[in-house]
Amino acid sequence: MRHALTTLILAASLAIGCAKTGDVQEKVPLTADITTYKTASVEVTIPTSVKNAETQKTAFAGTISDKLKEKKLFGDVTAGGGELTIKVNVTNVDEGSKLALAAGGGKSEVSATVDLFDTKQNKSIGQFDVKGNSKKDVHTSVGGVDTQAMEDTTGKALGAAADEIANYLDKHRGAAK
């Protein structure tokens, strides 16, 4: 009986511990194989109403570029002029409640539409919506205060969205319809 209870508690804690930090919803399936593109560039638009919008925009574009480079999806990821332009239009940023964050809850969420644009043929080759959030599995507290309350949760949500974008492209390597 004691072993069964321990196993049940372990399984429940593993299920709870896996926080999903993003999601992708395909809108228009890929019509070209992304492996045919040697270079890519990233363009990000973000609502000016977002706190530190220009800084967040620059950081988000940089994070997406870094994730694409890590996965070796393209020979080079440039600031502009790539054969494939990954156009990311951030449509919603929910910065979450700082009060809820301090109490151990609350999170930021980001939504964006991604358009994969072939610059040589001057046409879109696919579109998807992406969401990212700042959920995390572990919370640390100092003096009873959750240290996540002091973190940039919007930046974490944008980072999670960047992961989802790179993962989508990696999964769809060579999968043009």
Q: Which domains does the chain have, with CATH numbers?
A: 21-171 (3.30.160.150)
The pLDDT tens digits of the residues spanning 111-126 come to 999 999 999 999 999 9
- Spatial contact of 93 and 154, defined as CB atoms under 8 Å apart: yes
Q: Which of 160, 170, 177 is nearest to 60 (CA)?
A: 160
- Spatial contact of 26 and 70, defined as CB atoms under 8 Å apart: no
Contacts 24+ apart (CB under 8 A), 141-145: 145/102
User: Token digits for 14?
Assistant: 């593993």
pLDDT at 51: 86
SS3 169: helix
What's the N-to-C CA distance of the chain in angstroms? 53
pLDDT at 155: 87
- The residues of the chain scoring below 50 in pLDDT are 4-18, 99-104, 137-140, 142, 146-150
Q: Reading across the β-sheet that carries 123-133, which strands appear in turn?
A: 22-28, 123-133, 109-118, 84-94, 39-45, 76-78
pLDDT at 177: 57
CB atoms within 10 A of CB 102: 14
The conformation of residue 125, written as its DSSP 8-state character, comes to E
SS3 101: helix
User: Token digits for 79?
Assistant: 């600031």
Containing 158, the helix (H) or strand (E) segment is helix 153-171
pLDDT at 30: 94
